[in-house]
Chain A
Amino acid sequence: MVTNMSDVLEKIAPPKASAISAPRRRISLVWILPVLAALIGLSMVVHAWLSAGPEITIDFQTAEGLEVEKTPVKYKDVTVGVVSAIALSYDGSHVTATVSLDKHAANLARADTRFWVVRPRIGLQGVSGIDTLLSGAYIGVDKGTSATPSRNFRGLEAPPTVVNGTPGKSFVLHADDLGSLDIGSPIYYRHIRVGRVASYRLDSDGHDVTLEIFIDAPYDHFVAAKTRFWHASGVDISLGADGLKLDTQSLTTVLAGGIAFGNAEEGGAPAPAKTAFELAKDQRTAMAPSDGDSQYLLLRFEDSLRGLAVGAPVEFAGLNIGRVVSLDLDYDAPARRFPTLVGVVIYPSRLGGVLARLPKYSGNSEQQAAAFLANLVQHGLRAQARSGNLLTGQLYVSFEFVSHAPNVALDPAARPISIPTVPGSFDHMQEQIATIVSKVEKMPLDAIGQHLDASLVDLDKSLKQVNGEVLPATTRSLQQAGLTFQTVQGALSDNAPLQQNLQQTMLQVQRTAQSVRTLTDMLGRHPDALLKGLPSDARLTEPTPSSTVSKEYAQ
């Protein structure tokens, strides 16, 4: 206090020769500066120490795009760490990137957290990571749900399709084959893109493909227990009675494939996550009612079945009731023939309502079928390979009732059930065509041809003659004829002498005729005049009818 007061007094007071000695305490104040600097520096160190999170290692196949101290690790586009070191593994099979996570992101390092390198990717489904073209790759993180922390991870080679925490549901699809589907292929519901394929794998037996799909909320509740899934890849063109119909989901599916789903029946409770569905090959198959039980039948065709393929339809009364499942060659030793054994599968439920009206037999379904079929075979049921397409020669199997068929008994106990066959309609036609062809072959085509050739040579000669000799003569005749006609025309014209002479002659004839009439009249009245001469009172002319006649002649 006292010292401060003295300071103030010293400044106010006029200069004096003597002053109170300055306090020594001020010296220490200056040292606040380095202490302050040290504190700031220390605080930086402490801050860095505190903000440093755990170090984790991630194994990648390649370190492409990764740079030490530069490549960031991002979770939801927030930088949560940086690659601090990249090293090759001991055996050189992969690279190990050491990542320093930030303190606040320490809880990202869970056992099931996934890491992957975000690089620009260009595919049919679109372009992703385009920002990394300029900024360089970064490591993406998908936070796991596991409670156990982890320090060592195996990085994904491709970004995960479904990020944890995305609202929606996963489902499982079983398919015969993958088609053109791939991870990320879109899934459509009423042509709206509602999800994507998350993963696929071949089943261990190699027969089926199991796909995991993810449907985003809120569309996931449209997936009910009775939902049908089908391949929406490519273009579906159908030519029906109503014209050409082209059906496709979107241009993307045409190129890259996709899946669509629909509900055969409206309503139904949403299916729980991970429900398994079948993936049909197209919408019609998917939406078709379930086929139910199948029945295997064996058909034995004597003739060759070129054009019949596995999968070809089996029809009964114009209804598709099954398909061909196998084609095998058999050897008939006594006949030295190779008949074809065709295995078909039929679905009795495809017959529909009529199934209920069919007679019932005892036994299990196969025995029932055998008994029923034996009955039908007795009444002429035969299998026939028919031509479905004359252009391509595709065959299908048809069950028909054939009248006058040779009587064959079907043993109901034999397994597999074998239906007798008759040669196909196409075979008949082929035979007929063959007969025609053989007849045609028998015709002496060569001789006919030679004769025809000789005749043609003669004809050629005749034509030459006609050209060289006949034609000039004809021309000359025609010219003369023209001249003749001209002369005739001159002779026949009105003022021609012939015409006038004719007229005069006719007049003369007329007169002569008049004279003859007058003579005959007079002779009629006076027949004696020939002998006695003309009486004095006799008149030469009669006034009536004869005068009119004379007039007519005059005209």
Chain B
Amino acid sequence: MTVQLRASTLGMVGCHLCGLVCEVPPDAAHASSCPRCGAALHARRPNSLARAWACLLAAVIFYVPANILPVMHTNMLGRGSDSTISTGIVEFWKAGSYGIALVIFIASVAVPCAKFLALGLLLVTGKRRTPWARRERALLYRLVELVGYWSMLDVLVVAIVAGIVKFKALADVEPCIGILFFGGVVILTMLAAMQFDPRITWDGNEHE
């Protein structure tokens, strides 16, 4: 097995902004600027793990009201009803629309929960600098990033339905506070994923 050479061992730091590889003395690696664009140079994103943890934690906290509070107020022929995410899934499932129930379940329960677990796993293993399943963790990170784009499905559905269904007394749909929390969850998990520096996965010893 060949030993991979690392930038840190050579005292080199790549600029995050313009990509210039600069030589930084090891003792001053924390706060120097890129000689070309003037951006601050970091070997790793500063406070990456802490920030990601903070975002993730906030997201988890937001996830609770997002599920408890109603996301949508439907007013059909004068009969109003609030629906939370879980009641929506149950109602669709009971009504026989298994496909839609499944889509909502995946988009609003399975994916966020999976993201929490995945990010948590990445953060914990990153902190420990363990060499365990590094490639798989990298794949997981890419998946989390990829899924991030599609996490706003619920929010979009509510926004579009609320925009279209405006028939005064006949039928009216209004978004409720819950969807705001759900959007917060999605944004915060995306921020957490952004804050997480995937290179941390590869830090530490090559082998245990």
Residues of chain A touching chain B, judged by Cβ–Cβ distance below 8 Å, are: 10-11, 14-22, 26-27, 30-34, 36-38, 40-41, 44, 70, 131, 134-136
* Interface residue B124 (Cβ < 8 Å from any Cβ of A): no
**Cβ-defined contact, B31 with A41, below 8 A:** no
| Residues of chain B contacted by A11 (CB below 8 angstroms) | 38
Q: Report the Cα distance A26→B46, complex, angstroms.
A: 10
| Interface residue from B30, B47, B61 paired with A34 (Cβ < 8 Å) | B61
* Interface residue B7 (Cβ < 8 Å from any Cβ of A): no
Q: Report the Cα distance A151→B81, complex, angstroms.
A: 27
Can you list 27 residue pairs at the A/B interface with Cβ under 8 Å? Answer: A10-B33, A15-B32, A15-B33, A15-B38, A16-B33, A17-B24, A18-B25, A18-B28, A18-B32, A19-B28, A21-B30, A22-B30, A26-B46, A27-B47, A30-B47, A30-B54, A31-B54, A33-B55, A33-B57, A34-B54, A37-B59, A37-B61, A37-B62, A41-B62, A134-B77, A135-B77, A136-B79
| Interface residue from B30, B54, B79 paired with A135 (Cβ < 8 Å) | B79
Q: Report the Cα distance A421→B3, complex, angstroms.
A: 144
Closest to B59 in A: A37
| Residues of chain B contacted by A33 (CB below 8 angstroms) | 54-55, 57-58, 188
* Interface residue B51 (Cβ < 8 Å from any Cβ of A): yes
Q: Report the Cα distance A26→B69, complex, angstroms.
A: 34
| Apart from A17-B24, A30-B54, A37-B184, 4 more pairs, CB < 8 Å | A18-B32, A21-B31, A34-B61, A134-B78
Q: Report the Cα distance A457→B164, complex, angstroms.
A: 102
User: Shortest distance in angstroms between A77's beta carbon and chain B's nearest beta carbon?
Assistant: 13
| Residues of chain A contacted by B54 (CB below 8 angstroms) | 30-34
**Cβ-defined contact, B79 with A34, below 8 A:** no
Q: Report the Cα distance A18→B25, complex, angstroms.
A: 8
Closest to B36 in A: A15
Contact indicator per residue, chain B 43-57, by CB within 8 Å of chain A (1) or not (0)? 000110011001101
| Interface residue from B25, B46, B57, B81 paired with A17 (Cβ < 8 Å) | B25
| Residues of chain A contacted by B62 (CB below 8 angstroms) | 37, 40-41
Do A134 and B34 form a contact, CB below 8 Å, given A30-B50, A38-B61? no
| Residues of chain A contacted by B51 (CB below 8 angstroms) | 30
| Residues of chain B contacted by A10 (CB below 8 angstroms) | 31, 33, 40
| Residues of chain B contacted by A27 (CB below 8 angstroms) | 47, 50
| Residues of chain B contacted by A16 (CB below 8 angstroms) | 32-33
Q: Report the Cα distance A22→B43, complex, angstroms.
A: 14
**Cβ-defined contact, B81 with A70, below 8 A:** yes
**Cβ-defined contact, B61 with A41, below 8 A:** yes
User: Shortest distance in angstroms between A263's beta carbon and chain B's nearest beta carbon?
Assistant: 45
**Cβ-defined contact, A19 with B80, below 8 A:** no
User: Shortest distance in angstroms between B2's beta carbon and chain A's nearest beta carbon?
Assistant: 32
* Interface residue B64 (Cβ < 8 Å from any Cβ of A): yes
Closest 7 CB pairs between A and B? A135-B78, A37-B58, A34-B57, A15-B33, A19-B31, A134-B78, A37-B61
Give B159-208 interface residues, CB cut-off 8 Å to A. Answer: 184, 188
Q: Report the Cα distance A70→B51, complex, angstroms.
A: 42
| Residues of chain B contacted by A134 (CB below 8 angstroms) | 77-79
Closest to A19 in B: B31
**Cβ-defined contact, B58 with A34, below 8 A:** yes
User: Shortest distance in angstroms between B178's beta carbon and chain A's nearest beta carbon?
Assistant: 10
Q: Report the Cα distance A11→B32, complex, angstroms.
A: 10
Contact indicator per residue, chain B 89-132, by CB within 8 Å of chain A (1) or not (0)? 00000000000000000000000000000000000000000000
Q: Report the Cα distance A128→B80, complex, angstroms.
A: 20
Do A15 and B35 form a contact, CB below 8 Å, given A30-B50, A41-B64? yes
Do A31 and B50 form a contact, CB below 8 Å, given A17-B25, A70-B81, A134-B79? yes
Closest to B24 in A: A17
Q: Report the Cα distance A14→B188, complex, angstroms.
A: 35
User: Shortest distance in angstroms between A203's beta carbon and chain B's nearest beta carbon?
Assistant: 44
Q: Report the Cα distance A320→B9, complex, angstroms.
A: 130
Most A Cβ at <10 Å: residue of B31, B35, B65, B77: B31
| Residues of chain B contacted by A135 (CB below 8 angstroms) | 77-80
Q: Report the Cα distance A21→B32, complex, angstroms.
A: 9
| Residues of chain B contacted by A19 (CB below 8 angstroms) | 28, 30-33
| Residues of chain A contacted by B32 (CB below 8 angstroms) | 15-19
Q: Report the Cα distance A471→B64, complex, angstroms.
A: 127
User: Shortest distance in angstroms between A300's beta carbon and chain B's nearest beta carbon?
Assistant: 73
Give B75-91 interface residues, CB cut-off 8 Å to A. Answer: 77-81
| Residues of chain B contacted by A131 (CB below 8 angstroms) | 78
Do A15 and B46 form a contact, CB below 8 Å, given A33-B55, A135-B78, A135-B80? no
Closest to A15 in B: B33
| Residues of chain B contacted by A18 (CB below 8 angstroms) | 25, 28, 32
| Residues of chain A contacted by B80 (CB below 8 angstroms) | 135
Q: Report the Cα distance A179→B46, complex, angstroms.
A: 91
| Residues of chain B contacted by A136 (CB below 8 angstroms) | 79
| Residues of chain B contacted by A70 (CB below 8 angstroms) | 81
Closest to A79 in B: B80
| Residues of chain B contacted by A15 (CB below 8 angstroms) | 32-35, 38
Q: Report the Cα distance A15→B38, complex, angstroms.
A: 6
Closest to A26 in B: B47
Do A22 and B65 form a contact, CB below 8 Å, given A15-B32, A135-B78? no
Closest to B39 in A: A15
Closest to A13 in B: B33
Q: Report the Cα distance A15→B13, complex, angstroms.
A: 14
| Residues of chain A contacted by B47 (CB below 8 angstroms) | 26-27, 30
User: Shortest distance in angstroms between A548's beta carbon and chain B's nearest beta carbon?
Assistant: 130
| Residues of chain B contacted by A38 (CB below 8 angstroms) | 58, 61
Q: Report the Cα distance A240→B33, complex, angstroms.
A: 117
| Residues of chain B contacted by A17 (CB below 8 angstroms) | 24-25, 28, 32
Closest to B55 in A: A33
| Residues of chain A contacted by B50 (CB below 8 angstroms) | 27, 30-31
User: Shortest distance in angstroms between B39's beta carbon and chain A's nearest beta carbon?
Assistant: 9
**Cβ-defined contact, B31 with A22, below 8 A:** yes
Q: Report the Cα distance A31→B58, complex, angstroms.
A: 9
